[in-house]
A = this chain, B = another copy of it.
């Protein structure tokens, strides 16, 4: 049965969503086995008791995101969930009363609501300004309802069903067909809410719509989402910030499907795609925080409610002890059977370090739309990590940063991405939504560490054009000496192609790996090329000296993000010479050396111009800029971490980098990068830009011949392969 009338049959008198009655009994009996789980249970109980000290307000919806009614309804949804689950686990009747009272209040309120007064261009909700929040609300509340369902009278069930559950599920499905059938996390949330409501009410039509789309034909719905949202490697095209968010309804709904219809083997679906998506979230993090690519709030990471559910589910499925160390750093356990088993395993000392390693995450449903490459040197806290973003655009939240890179070291983000310009949930800041500067700055190419041509963004900052193109990962290899990846991009600018090779090399000389960056542009010109490098830290020295603007600042440009950059300093150098800049961040020094192909300019820019509402964070960038008359051009740069300083111990060592000089020798399409260190070691990285493994290449320099096969060769000064 479907529609607005309560169903007559009651097949699920003790319905199960994430936690069955039997499981709850087992948890209750075994609580003593996990102090960690007990702490989370106690913390939730304390929070719920405080919340229900007075009957919670169920206000008429009026406010936008971050406003009172918005936050209050969000809180109420979570409170229904928490009180219900607490009742299930503890058996305390008071918790059941709490959940039921709130559910009834919503069943009274909801039928009278029209579209939310604060609706924007997003699909509007009734309780909330956007229906997305409404789907999230129902996903939580329906779990609370399921928990108390066995103790409700028939009349009470009917009240909730006809006043709240069905109207809301209808509104989220047939009430907004475009959103419900969209392959997008808004659609996944709607599917989860409607499908879980279906399991509660025993309404197969809801479940089938959730799984297969409104038409129930598989053209949309949850399974289609699992097919399309993630790449075969479990990468979500919007990037990890939204991957985390997209995972939540996936994990919750999958758990409900698993518990109700295990024969669907949902966690095996598409070669365990859900598990892959959880793991790739972890692999897309450093020091607990996600790589902030595309629209991303930078403080988000592995200690979020989504990953608490995700890691617990993945641990329960796999028993992988590496996942426990991730869960161990989360501030709470989730109140499910998976959460209990994870917490107990941690309490038993079973956690092992998560084996972070270098990997390629292909993008696109078939894995053919570029890739994100993560190179790591070690896996311990403070290891060096390089992120090479050669992915597709990532839909509406994508940034125009083809072949961008990020760099982490010593626990810090060193070469940075601005992330999103947004104060999440702060009403005074555009209602908590994305700020205008997200478009004018954060998405623009100049806000990233990649090629900008003629001070215009990739695809001129137009999403429709960007959606139609993607980079190609042309090469990837890792071994003990070197991790190296290369990608090309052809349609970011008309008639122009650029390719980038990024390598993490252990040498020359002792110390942490150096990063070599080789970026080649092929075009007719005339063009001006900018290569920005956004770095975190305090400038220590530069060669040649940067000449500062000390008495006035002006923006670097008028558009494409340049209007937000103050021109702070500049330096010029001659062909074949290099710029070298050293900065200090955390307890370590970093030196960036970049070769001037002709008479180039190095600019230092500070973020903050054209920012009337103080929406932008302070940030700085070096920009290597060519004259405006270039066609083909090659950028060669090296980044090296070095030395250490400790204020507490008053010790400082290694304030100078190892690299003495950097140069490039060419022959046709071949490049030979010479790295000379202060200790006299001379290394050469040769790049053919030709991934065919059987092709031999040769280049000579200073009476030495360097011969290699395939994409690259790494040599000592005698031309011997390293």
**A residues at B contact (CB < 8 Å):** 66, 71, 74-75, 297, 299-301, 303-305, 331, 423-429, 432, 538-541, 546-548, 550-555, 566, 569, 582, 584, 606, 608-614, 617-618, 645, 647-653, 655
B residues less than 8 Å from A300 (CB atoms): 647-648
Q: Is the CB of A303 within 8 A of B648?
A: yes
Report whether B612 and A550 are in contact in the complex, using a CB–CB cutoff of 8 Å: yes
Give the copy number: 2
Q: Given A423-B538, A548-B611, 11 other A-B contacts at CB below 8 A?
A: A71-B651, A71-B652, A74-B651, A299-B647, A305-B649, A423-B540, A424-B645, A548-B612, A550-B610, A552-B553, A618-B618
Which residues does chain B contribute within 8 Å of A426, judged by CB atoms? 540, 584, 645, 652, 655
Known contacts A71-B651, A426-B584; A551 and B554 CB within 8 A of each other: yes
Given the complex, which residues of B lie within 8 Å of A645, measured CB to CB? 424-426
Nearest residue in B to A540 (C-beta to C-beta)?
B428
**24 cross-chain CB contacts under 8 A:** A71-B651, A297-B647, A303-B648, A331-B648, A423-B538, A423-B584, A424-B650, A425-B651, A426-B540, A426-B645, A426-B655, A427-B655, A428-B541, A432-B652, A546-B614, A548-B611, A548-B612, A548-B614, A551-B555, A551-B609, A552-B552, A553-B553, A553-B566, A569-B614
Complex: A655 Cα to B584 Cα, angstroms: 35
Instruction: Report B-chain residues with C-beta under 8 Å of the C-beta of A541.
Output: 428
Query: Considering the chains assembled together, what is the distance between the CA atoms of A428 and B655 in angstroms?
Result: 8
The listed residue (B66, B647, B651) touching A652 by CB distance below 8 A is B66
- Bound CA span A584–B299, Å: 14
List residues of chain B with CB within 8 A of the CB of A551.
554-555, 609-610
Report the separation of the CA atoms of residues A429 and B645 in the bound assembly, to the nearest whole angstrom: 13
A416 to chain B minimum Cβ distance, whole angstroms, is 15
Closest to A330 in B: B648
| Residue in B429, B606, B608, B610 whose beta carbon sits within 8 Å of that of A540 in the complex | B429
Give the residues in chain B near A613, CB-CB below 8 Å: 548
Residues of B within 8 A of A428 (CB): 540-541, 582, 655
A425: B residues at CB distance < 8 A: 645, 650-652
Distance in angstroms from A654 CB to nearest chain B CB is 10
Q: Please, which residues of chain B bring their CB within 8 A of the CB of A569? A: 614
- Write out the residue numbers on chain B whose beta carbons fall within 8 Å of the beta carbon of A652: 66, 71, 424-426, 432
What residue in chain B is nearest A653 (Cβ atoms)?
A: B71
Tell me how far the C-beta of A44 lies from the nearest C-beta in chain B, rounded to whole angstroms. Answer: 13
